[in-house]
Chains A and B, each alone.
Chain A
Amino acid sequence: GAVVSQHPSRVICKSGTSVKIECRSLDFQATTMFWYRQFPKQSLMLMATSNEGSKATYEQGVEKDKFLINHASLTLSTLTVTSAHPEDSSFYICSARWRGRGPSSYEQYFGPGTRLTVT
């Protein structure tokens, strides 16, 4: 149980175009989904937190107009990188957590990541 998928796993796009990444919780309802960015040989940087049916909460320094997040249902969140530039090239990882309260609600289940390359 607790499987999270991401699509696509790899994407190459041209500078100036937009790219959409999907994150799905396959066998559970996710109250909250998180989007991280990971640079080579570095830890995860939280970009934003999205709750189903409400606007995402962005971390300081993350451009909300550039990284559009939509959490349309309890099993799907999307990250759209708009007008992508080479500096947006990175590994993007999503995670999801259970609907509920208590310590178990802090347990995050991660997707396999999406490698974005902007040429």
Chain B
Amino acid sequence: AQSVTQPDIHITVSEGASLELRCNYSYGATPYLFWYVQSPGQGLQLLLKYFSGDTLVQGIKGFEAEFKRSQSSFNLRKPSVHWSDAAEYFCAVGGYGGSQGNLIFGKGTKLSVKP
């Protein structure tokens, strides 16, 4: 069955430090991969997506993610974190069978930023 794992429930980084949030997926073919961010009490905002082609994708707010098929991973990175990046981050996978366009979400990683 398709699944998404975000191994880290909570990560704390200092402002200005680099960030990597992990995401692993289980899927039989090349999936469509997404990273979303959710601020407290808000909906989800799409950061970036991967469908095919270049495995390093750039997103909004200075984020990037790299698709590694051999590792079934799609880790999110940012070279220098800002205090406003504190939020919940969700990795999602789509593209499996059916026509509904459903996404499977990971459980999320909460990012805290120290001043």
A107 and B34 contact, CB distance less than 8 A:
yes
- Among A42, A49, A93, A107, the residue within 8 A (CB) of B100 is A49
Binding-face segment, B54-62, B76-84, B102-110 = B102-110
- Among B42, B90, B95, B110, the residue within 8 A (CB) of A44 is B90
Contacts of B106 on A, CB cut-off 8 Å? 43
Contacts of A41 on B, CB cut-off 8 Å? 110
B41 and A57 contact, CB distance less than 8 A:
no
- Among A4, A34, A42, A91, the residue within 8 A (CB) of B107 is A42
Contacts of B42 on A, CB cut-off 8 Å? 112-113
- Among A43, A106, A109, A110, the residue within 8 A (CB) of B95 is A106
A6 and B34 contact, CB distance less than 8 A:
no
Chain B residue nearest to A102 in the complex (CB):
B51
Q: Say whether, besides A42-B107, A43-B108, A103-B32, A34 and B102 are in contact (CB < 8 Å).
A: yes
Contacts of A97 on B, CB cut-off 8 Å? 101
B52 part of interface (Cβ distance < 8 Å): yes
B17 part of interface (Cβ distance < 8 Å): no
A110 and B36 contact, CB distance less than 8 A:
yes
A-B pairs with beta carbons under 8 Å apart, 21 shown:
A32-B100, A41-B110, A42-B108, A43-B90, A43-B108, A44-B44, A44-B105, A46-B102, A51-B100, A57-B100, A91-B41, A93-B44, A103-B32, A105-B101, A106-B103, A108-B101, A110-B36, A111-B43, A112-B42, A113-B41, A115-B41
List chain B positions with a Cβ less than 8 A from chain A.
32, 34, 36, 41-46, 49, 51-52, 90, 94-95, 100-103, 105-108, 110
List chain A positions with a Cβ less than 8 A from chain B.
4, 6, 31-32, 34, 41-44, 46, 49, 51, 57, 91, 93, 95, 97, 103-113, 115
